[in-house]
Amino acid sequence: MISYDGLFALLKTKGLSKTALAKKAGISSRTLAKLGNGDYVAMKVIEDICRALDCNIGDILSVSADAQPVGRLLSVLREEKAMKLKGGLYHQTQIEMTYNSNHIEGGKLTKDQTRYIFETNTIGLEADKTVNVDDIAETSNHFRCIDYALDKASEPLTEDIIKEFHRLLKSNTSDSSKDWFAVGDYKKKPNAVGDMPTTPPKKVAAALQKLLADYGKLPHPAIEDIIAFHREFEAIHPFQDGNGRVGRLVAFKECLRFDITPFIIDENLRLFYYRGFKEWPNERGYLSDTCKAGQDKYRAIIDYFMSDEN
């Protein structure tokens, strides 16, 4: 974990208060609170403090070797979630990710309806409109999945975490009442992605365990590694249904874990996204470029909400 013990020891030696530091280094009280909590702050803040105190980075900050530091984006999302802040980055992330991930899988709720469910926990419909009950359930469930991703973001990816995403997503849907549909567990019947076959049910556990083991050997995955994991996960297609949404939730979690901007695949990117999966064995750039375009979309949202932070 991140430790700023050196900073506070140095302040004591110099006879400076935290308030005096904030004024001297030009940092906000919110950033000061993050330092006190051991949360991630931007490197520019650390550099400003070092200039103000005439010290080196190593004098004020240390990171334990066995822990992944909490990135700025994850810290903000967790903070706003805990605050139940309306209209902020966490709020917008929930709506954008849930609406787009469901929509490209055939969900019929509009973005306004998705927003209404998140904000009120009810569904508002015009008198002559009807919606599929599963769309409502899976929208509400997806909100819970994003919260779970934030809770587990700092932890290594495991089978149990992946299965829990599926359990949360598909609970209380019509699929959950089917004897052959395993909610929170691997598929019992073969399935396909378009015209592409996937891993047979009896081989799913071994295939996913190998994928996780290979991925776990990477000391610090880059966005290309997370995209590659996402593609191989979808090729296995471990669950009877919901694989696309679970796969994107896993990618979201892992991006947050390694302080990488997550990607959002919207309607404009959908066909390129599916084409990227199909062409992956021969051309990886197509899927990679599409996901990076999705990064740009989410980065614009992040910049809007976080542009005034230290």
Q: What is the pLDDT of residue 159?
A: 97
What's the CATH number where 144 sits? 1.10.3290.10
pLDDT surpasses 90 at 4: no
| DSSP track, 8-45 | HHHHHHHT--HHHHHHHHT--HHHHHHHHHT----HHH
CA atoms of 21 and 37, how far apart (whole Å)? 16
Q: What is the pLDDT of residue 168?
A: 98
**Domain co-membership, 145 together with 256:** yes
**Domain co-membership, 101 together with 52:** no
Please name the residue ranges forming H helices in the chain. 5-14, 18-25, 29-37, 43-53, 57-60, 72-83, 89-103, 111-120, 133-152, 159-170, 204-216, 223-236, 243-257, 270-279, 285-306
Who's near 171: CB < 8 A, 6+ residues apart? 137, 141, 183
Instruction: Please state, rounded to an integer, the average pLDDT across all residues of the chain.
Output: 91
**Domain co-membership, 247 together with 294:** yes
For residue 166, the enclosing domain spans 72-306
Burial classification of residue 202, based on how many CB atoms lie within 10 Å of its CB (0-12 exposed, 13-18 middle, 19 or more buried): exposed
Fill in the DSSP letter of residue 232: H
Confidence of residue 310 (pLDDT cuts 50, 70, 90): very low
CA atoms of 44 and 247, how far apart (whole Å)? 34
User: How does pLDDT run across 20-33, given as a tens digit for each residue?
Assistant: 999 999 998 888 88
**Domain co-membership, 159 together with 288:** yes
| Residue where a domain terminates, one of 63, 96, 114 | 63
| 62 bridge partner residues | 3
pLDDT surpasses 90 at 231: yes
CA atoms of 183 and 205, how far apart (whole Å)? 15
Q: What is the pLDDT of residue 189?
A: 96
**Domain co-membership, 192 together with 222:** yes
Domain total in the chain? 2
CA atoms of 111 and 143, how far apart (whole Å)? 14
CA atoms of 298 and 292, how far apart (whole Å)? 10
Q: What is the pLDDT of residue 65?
A: 46
**Domain co-membership, 216 together with 241:** yes
User: How does pLDDT run across 180-225, given as a tens digit for each residue?
Assistant: 999 999 999 999 988 889 999 999 999 999 999 999 999 889 999 9
CA atoms of 187 and 185, how far apart (whole Å)? 7
pLDDT surpasses 80 at 62: no
pLDDT surpasses 70 at 70: no
Comparison of pLDDT for 14 and 38, the residue scoring more: 14
**Domain co-membership, 248 together with 115:** yes
**Domain co-membership, 209 together with 149:** yes
pLDDT surpasses 60 at 249: yes
Confidence of residue 308 (pLDDT cuts 50, 70, 90): low
For strands 2-3 and 196-197, give the pairing.
unpaired
Q: What is the pLDDT of residue 35?
A: 83
Confidence of residue 1 (pLDDT cuts 50, 70, 90): low
- Mean pLDDT value across residues 80-103: 95
Q: What are phi and psi of 37, to 5 degrees?
A: -90, -5
**Half-sphere exposure of 189 toward its Cβ, with a 13 Å CA cutoff?**
8
Fill in the DSSP letter of residue 70: P
**Domain co-membership, 76 together with 190:** yes
| Residue where a domain terminates, one of 10, 36, 63 | 63
- Mean pLDDT value across residues 34-38: 79
